[in-house]
Chains A and B, each alone.
Chain A
Amino acid sequence: MSSLNYIFKRLLLMVPTFFLVMVIIFMLVRMLPGDPAIAMAGDRASDADIQAIRERLGLTEPMLVQFWLFLSNTVQGDLGRSILMRTDVIDVIADRLPITVFLTVYSVVLSLLIAGPLAFVAALNRGRWPDAVIRTIFQIGLSMPVFYIGLVLLTFLAAQLRLFPVGGYGDTFGEKLYHLFLPSVTVALYTSAIIMRNLRSAIIEVLDAEYVQFARAKGLPSRLILGRHVLRNALISTVTLLGLSIGNLMSGTLVTETVFAVPGMGRLMLEAIFARDYPLIQGLTLTFAVLVSLVFLMTDLFQSRLDPRMRLQ
């Protein structure tokens, strides 16, 4: 099967996934106590006012009617109007999406830059002191809550040493790299700990493989062995892990975006939940679902490139 065919089939399979996501999120938000009318009108509004708002928002319609509206509008690309922001959900998301995607990609790149070289150093020095030091440091990183790491970095690097800004996210690409460095590194420290551990053991496993020993025996230079044979094969499981941790990275933005005052989708999600902004919660969840699905698809495609034994089907 050609990879185009495969991609098409995978995209088709996403349809039922998204349908399920929509059903679940539609029901979940409505199961929460409190509704948008109460959140919107405030505690001081009279019952009659709240009822009027419910009617205006269409919340008095039967559930199935509401769901049908949600479904049919979404298919037509209309995610509804945000109760909280008083604008179209699609516009709000279009505003915030680039920031969160930038933050996530930046975190992934930083995680790889941190984890990759250190995993090699640790694996090649297995059991010796560099290995122990690296593993201990990452173990500490893994056991600290993300928001705490964020605050520590902010206090020392931003407030005291003034190396980085405390808040904001910049306009140009360069400014963004600078402004979002601390939030990205905060997320990256956690992710790189997981990647480092996985990559280290994968490298060790591959180093012991017979084909590597054979390559060594053949007298190939070790740079070639490490680059062509070891890294490529060790990366297979790491790519899977990275793909799977994209969900974690995205949910991590809920915390980092709040701590670092980055106006992205994670912080928006929190605000939307507190305000019971059904259309916005639904729109954001769907967007997250699309992003995660696309990353999974890309992971699979990349894996098949790394390992020809994995067929796309």
Chain B
Amino acid sequence: MHLKSVLGLVVASSLAMPALAQERGGTLNFARYDGSRLIDPIYADRNPDIWMVGSLFDTLLRGSADGNSVEPGLAETFSVSDDGKTVSLTLREGVLFADGSSMSGEDAVFSLDRARNPDLSPWAGLLGSIDSVSADGNAVTISLKDADPTILSMLATFNTAVVSKAAYDAAPGDTDQDKSAAIFASTSAGVGSGPFYLCGFEQGASMDFCANEHYWRMGADGKPLPYLEGVHFEIIPDDATRILSLQAGEVDAAEFIPFSRVAELEADPNINMQLYPSTRIIYSPINTRDTRADGSPNPLADARVRKALNYGTNKDALIGVVLHGAGQPMSSPLMAKATQYASDLSPLYSYDMDKAKALISEAGLEPGTEVTLTTLAGSADDATIFAALQQMWAPLGIELVVEQVDGATRGAKNRSGEFDIHTYGWVNDVNDPSQVVGWLGYTPTAKAVGTGWENAEFNTLFEEAAKEMDPEARKAKFAKMQDLYAEAAPLLFMYETPFAVALGSAVEGYVQTPLGNNIFDEATVSR
């Protein structure tokens, strides 16, 4: 969330500055692939919710443009004590919620206490180091149990955004969940201090954001942001219809354009086809357990076989057939290039059939060994991936068969280990590598993305990195983890993809950040 706003600034100014005056007013019509259900910083757990938090709420800190540091947000100043165990922040004077009520340190305490309450928020674990939060007027003090190198990044992440305590106190309901739902349903302006507030919501159909006239950040014209009067979202789940809606001029922007349509839209003079850099990686976890779930021996338990599959996969060809060229092979085994501390190990398992065959024969794999690829039913991308891999791996003596399931089934299989290889993807929610590395490689929490892979050295490095305050030393630990992971190959390392958004020619300044956040702060639409 922090990264987005700054990026928004950079892109918006580079695009819009030459204009004489900043275009103000108007409503941007935006076609989404899926709707939000509850935009509350601590309950947002699906991308369509998470990615909108920053439009309605503000965080204490904001990410810098390069994503490697933080800048003042709602907090004008911030500092970390020498022992790393105390964070002191001072809130900006005169920040108002969208209804005009004023924000104080009490709101920040309330918001952080909600965010770190494991009974409430699925994201509480990210704030596990916090011992207590207190405020004296506009001064906010966060005391930590242990020094935490990620704490400043976390204060710039969506789940720590500040909500109005008064709004929650006044909302009907017995539990925090009920209150949150009631506030969302009432489309109240008094809950957040972001550039917009929610002013209309029709479940599954549409959503409206109206400009917060009290927003504290200034635009290029010296007046408060945002430039737009509002944003109207239409939910159009079908890809083709979403594009048609843009072409017919009913909406000004359409997100999640299938890569097969990108070239065609790039050629359309009325459409500005954008490919925003992302932290999204597409990979396939490989079951590394000695036996399969049914008790039979697992040929993929042998690291040589997993490496052979990686060498035997032509990533460029995959990117060609699935993404129509709009992507790049993974260069770090654990994260997207844009992530802090990503090692550049490219070419990571560059296509080499001889190496692959040698590894297979070294491992003594029987020709005709059957391996199942579990894919998402109805996903054209997955179907293409299967067809391509089936051909690519045939010379290795591997007979790839497909099993098509829906998302919930795939999730259940990942948990129970009832799979050989399955397709998967990831987008960072936090601008710190610990989240994705914890997910893909650390065994105690996520069983290394369900692969069952376990490496004691990796786990120790991960735990050390969580406490390492020296950035260089922390970076070195992440580099070592990436080397270990690349060598063990618990995944089929595939590719990174951008976020494809098609904009009408009237739109300027809209940004989708590498974390996926939709930023309308500095967007304009000329009618």
B338 to chain A, nearest CB (A): 20
Determine the distance from Cα of A249 to Cα of B177 in the docked complex, in whole angstroms: 38
Please tell me the size bucket of the interface on A.
Answer: 35 or more
Return the chain B residue nearest A273 by Cβ: B406
Contact of A34 with B411 in the complex, beta carbons under 8 Å: yes
Contact of B244 with A47 in the complex, beta carbons under 8 Å: no
Residues of chain A within 8 A of B415, CB atoms compared: 38, 43, 47
Contact of A45 with B122 in the complex, beta carbons under 8 Å: yes
Determine the distance from Cα of A76 to Cα of B21 in the docked complex, in whole angstroms: 62
Interface-lining segment among A163-171, A188-196, A292-300: A163-171
Residues of chain A within 8 A of B204, CB atoms compared: 96, 263, 267-268, 271
Interface-lining segment among B1-9, B75-83, B229-237, B300-308: B229-237
Chain B residues with a Cβ closer than 8 Å to the other chain, count: 40
Residues of chain B within 8 A of A273, CB atoms compared: 406
Contact of A95 with B250 in the complex, beta carbons under 8 Å: no
Residues of chain A within 8 A of B324, CB atoms compared: none
Q: In the complex, given contacts A38-B412, A41-B45, A159-B248, what are 16 additional A-B residue pairs having Cβ atoms less than 8 angstroms apart?
A: A32-B409, A33-B408, A33-B413, A34-B408, A34-B410, A38-B411, A38-B415, A42-B122, A92-B203, A159-B244, A167-B31, A258-B237, A259-B240, A260-B241, A271-B204, A275-B408
Contact of A166 with B241 in the complex, beta carbons under 8 Å: yes
Q: Is residue B291 within 8 Å, beta carbon to beta carbon, of the partner chain?
A: no
Q: Is residue A261 within 8 Å, beta carbon to beta carbon, of the partner chain?
A: yes
**Nearest 9 A-B pairs (CB), nearest first?**
A34-B408, A263-B205, A34-B412, A261-B236, A263-B204, A166-B245, A33-B409, A159-B244, A159-B248
Return the chain B residue nearest A53 by Cβ: B122
Q: Is residue A44 within 8 Å, beta carbon to beta carbon, of the partner chain?
A: yes
Given A34-B412, A96-B204, A267-B204: A151 and B240 interface contact (C-beta under 8 Å):
yes
Q: Is residue B362 within 8 Å, beta carbon to beta carbon, of the partner chain?
A: no
- Interface residues in chain A, defined as those with a beta carbon under 8 Å from any beta carbon in chain B: 32-35, 38-47, 49, 84-87, 92, 95-96, 151, 154-155, 158-159, 162, 165-169, 258-261, 263, 267-268, 271, 273-276
Contact of B408 with A261 in the complex, beta carbons under 8 Å: no
A24 to chain B, nearest CB (A): 20
A203 to chain B, nearest CB (A): 38
Residues of chain B within 8 A of A165, CB atoms compared: 248, 250
Contact of B234 with A154 in the complex, beta carbons under 8 Å: no
Given A85-B37, A263-B203: A46 and B408 interface contact (C-beta under 8 Å):
no
Given A34-B408, A166-B250: A43 and B414 interface contact (C-beta under 8 Å):
yes
Contact of A42 with B407 in the complex, beta carbons under 8 Å: no
Contact of B445 among A41, A42, A46 (CB under 8 A): A46
Determine the distance from Cα of A41 to Cα of B123 in the docked complex, in whole angstroms: 11
Residues of chain A within 8 A of B412, CB atoms compared: 33-35, 38
Contact of B237 with A267 in the complex, beta carbons under 8 Å: yes
Residues of chain B within 8 A of A261, CB atoms compared: 234-238, 241, 245
Determine the distance from Cα of A271 to Cα of B249 in the docked complex, in whole angstroms: 27
Within 8 A of A (CB), among B387-411: 405-411
What would be 21 A-B contacts, judged by CB atoms less than 8 Å apart? A32-B409, A33-B405, A35-B408, A35-B412, A38-B412, A38-B415, A41-B45, A42-B45, A42-B46, A43-B414, A45-B122, A47-B415, A86-B37, A86-B181, A154-B241, A162-B248, A166-B250, A167-B241, A261-B235, A261-B245, A274-B408
